[in-house]
Structure 1
Amino acid sequence: MSPRPLNASRVTTLLCDADGTLFPSEEPAYAASADVTNRFLAELGAERPYSPTELQAMTNGKNFRAAAQELARGYGRELAAGDLDAWVVQEKDVVTAHLREVLHPDPDVRDPLVALAGRFTLAAVTSSAATRLDACLEVTDLAKLFDPERRFSAEDSLEVPTSKPDPAVYAFAGTALGVTPDDAVAIEDSINGALSAVAAGFPTIGTVQFVAEADRAARTAALREAGAVAVVASWTEIADLLGG
């Protein structure tokens, strides 16, 4: 799909991915999730455990529910709904508790966002569970910038839980907020996230603020390939791009 062009003068709303975009939660989340995921894989018949880095490379941008289903299919298994839900709850609780401990306010994110909140409506659009999103926003001192009514989770907000790159959560957020691709822009760090936003029709800005320096060139190219209209290295650059 060709990327939708960005007309910054018409933008009223920012649809912000959370993990890896508002806070550097992806690496610690995978570190905390690894034990649960490897126990899950062992039940599927995995011959060895996987490192957090390997797991992130395998499933980046997807929530645990989608990742577990994909991994299970790789072993020729279909999970019963009750079994899957039990693993999802276990992983969510472990990861949320860990993120509460390791995340902190970051002025390089909060200060530009405070300025942007004076001009735009801010919404969070994530694959992660709502309780995990709430905890991360709280400990990073961003909660007041994202009203609970403007937090959308592919795990909890939809009638049928899904995950990016499925565009359902972006489509749902747009409808709930009463915005269209003409007046809203998505901010995404992952390839699956960008694919989700682009498929929903929203012009998408890629960000590599929390991507390791050695990986930024490759991620930038991949985000552009996924349809991002621009890729930036900071929230300050996002504010500048939108005319801040």
Structure 2
Amino acid sequence: MIRAVIFDFDGLILDTETSEYRTFAEIYEQYGAQLPMESWARVVGSSDSDFDPYDYLEKHVGRPLDRGDLESRRRERHLAYIEEEDILPGVREVLEQARELGWKVGLASSSTRSWVEGYLNKLGIRPHFQCLRTRDDVERTKPDPALYRLAAECLGVDPSEAVALEDSPNGALAAKRAGMRCIAVPNSVTKHFAFGDIDLRLDSLEELDLKAWADRVEKTATGK
């Protein structure tokens, strides 16, 4: 029986992923280069990726770059773009569905606690979450399952009793490795990526009816 829902943050609650890719792509364009989407896929949802976009760019231009200056200017634009974003469609509705079902609600993010909590407070939804687990709590972030395992432990449920809501293949893989079901809701960037073993894929959280989905899972599990 499902008793908890665990949200990702970046790209699922607030679309920070589009501006992250956009600002790196803008830098690449300045040097006559393109940022391959298949390479970027290794970064999304993880802070432990083996792909370094600045390494890749330096190899393209054939010389070292002032990474500190580039990153400072890129981050400034990234934050400015995010200021134009609002909470993604369906998030508030799914949070309300979870409350009505009596489910516990958590969050597992590869970003820092200050980043996540700051935006949750700004969006006015922080009180909905009984537990937050971020990269400050683990040695390895997604696709490692530690974040999801810790979130389930914090909520007092077995991973098999939780469903993760994810927008990236790295996040979905982390949830499945933790022993959870996973519903993928790709954003404008991650919709181009291939997802592996997931339980459901939606275009928007507006499409999600938690109770109906959980009822189907229960019927499948019991064979009734």
TM-score, length-normalised on structure 2? 0.70
Residue of structure 2 aligned with 1:237, choices 202, 208, 215: 208
| Equivalent position SS for 1:24 | coil
Residue of structure 2 aligned with 1:143, choices 108, 126, 129: 126
Report whether the alignment pairs 1:102 with 2:81: no
2:24·2:35 contact (CA, 8 Å) conserved in 1? no
Distance of aligned partners of 1:172 and 1:112 in 2 relative to their CA distance in 1, 3 Å threshold: closer
Instruction: Give, in whole Å, the separation in 1 of the partners of 2:53 and 2:125.
Output: 32
AA paired with 2:188?
V
Question: Following TM superposition, by how much is the alpha carbon of 1:99 offset from its aligned partner in structure 2, in angstroms?
Answer: 6.3
Gaps of 5+ in 2: 59-67, 217-224
Instruction: Give, in whole Å, the separation in 2 of the partners of 1:104 and 1:17.
Output: 16
Counting only pairs closer than 5 Å after superposition, residues 2-41 of structure 1 correspond to structure 2 as: 10-32=1-23
AA paired with 2:125?
L
2:10·2:109 contact (CA, 8 Å) conserved in 1? yes
Residue of structure 2 aligned with 1:114, choices 79, 85, 96: 96
Question: Following TM superposition, by how much is the alpha carbon of 1:189 offset from its aligned partner in structure 2, in angstroms?
Answer: 1.5
AA paired with 2:185?
T
Residue of structure 1 aligned with 2:173, choices 177, 180, 195: 195
Distance of aligned partners of 1:193 and 1:105 in 2 relative to their CA distance in 1, 3 Å threshold: closer
AA paired with 1:127?
S
Gaps of 5+ in 1: 1-9, 42-46, 76-85
CA RMSD across the alignment: 3.8
Question: Percent of pairs identical after alignment?
Answer: 24
Instruction: Give, in whole Å, the separation in 2 of the partners of 1:23 and 1:192.
Output: 17
Question: Following TM superposition, by how much is the alpha carbon of 1:14 offset from its aligned partner in structure 2, in angstroms?
Answer: 0.5
TM-score, length-normalised on structure 1? 0.65
| Equivalent position SS for 1:205 | strand
Instruction: Give, in whole Å, the separation in 1 of the partners of 2:175 and 2:54.
Output: 24
Equivalenced residue count is: 202
> Which string of whole-angstrom CA distances, capped at 9 and with x for unpartnered residues, describes residues 144-172 of structure 1?
2124xx11112x112x2x22111111122
> Which string of whole-angstrom CA distances, capped at 9 and with x for unpartnered residues, describes residues 33-67 of structure 1?
678xx7xx9xxxxx87655967734522222x545
**Highest CA radius of gyration, 1 or 2?**
2
